[in-house]
Amino acid sequence: MVKHYSLLLVIILSISLISCSQLTKKDDVAYVKKNIIESFINKDIEKLKKIFNSELNKKNTIDKQINALFDSIEGKIISYELNCLDGSEQEKVDNFKIIYSDLSPFIRKIITDKSKEYEIHCYYLRIDNENPNKVGVYRIAVYDLNNNILYEIK
């Protein structure tokens, strides 16, 4: 009987831990997407750089690349769709603890005043216990509706 209760307790704790990490992951993705779209709307280089990993920020030409990224969207952004369920993810877990989490969230249906539509794809390393300096956005790209990359920073 004690074994059954112990097993039940382990299962409940595992589900609780996974649920907590999912909420945090959802919050992280929402934060990254919000910062990206606000950076594009306001053409705010510094705001975008805050979510980049240290390797991207070390590039000598990062400010020029970000300006080119902003300029790849023709016109002023008038609407967009932030859906936290978009994208893909890869995780590694050890002893019920996430040790690696790589997410690829999208911002879809970005419409401009020039009647153009775009998507922004972001590649975001959320957790890497072996390489913590690589955590952050390590790749970002603007796509047109034909899935062509208009500009990319990596």
The pLDDT assigned to 37 comes to 97
The pLDDT assigned to 59 comes to 92
Q: Which residues contact 154 (CB under 8 A, 6 or more apart)?
A: 56, 123, 138, 139, 140, 141
The pLDDT assigned to 118 comes to 97
What is the span of the domain harbouring residue 86? Answer: 2-153
Give the domain CATH number at 148: 3.10.450.50
Tally of CB atoms within 10 A around 107: 24
Tally of CB atoms within 10 A around 13: 11
Helix (H, G, I), strand (E, B), or coil: what is residue 151?
strand
| Residue type at 148 in one-letter notation | N
**Residue 80 contacts residue 37 (beta carbons within 8 Å):** yes
What is the average pLDDT value for the chain, to the nearest integer?
A: 85
Q: Which two tokens stand for residue 32?
A: 């990254």
The pLDDT tens digits of the residues spanning 4-54 come to 555 444 444 444 333 334 447 678 888 999 999 999 999 999 999 999 999
Tally of CB atoms within 10 A around 29: 23
Cα Rg of the chain, angstroms: 19
Domain count, the chain: 1
| Single pTM value for the model | 0.78
**Residue 104 contacts residue 89 (beta carbons within 8 Å):** yes
User: Would you say residue 105 has pLDDT above 80?
Assistant: yes
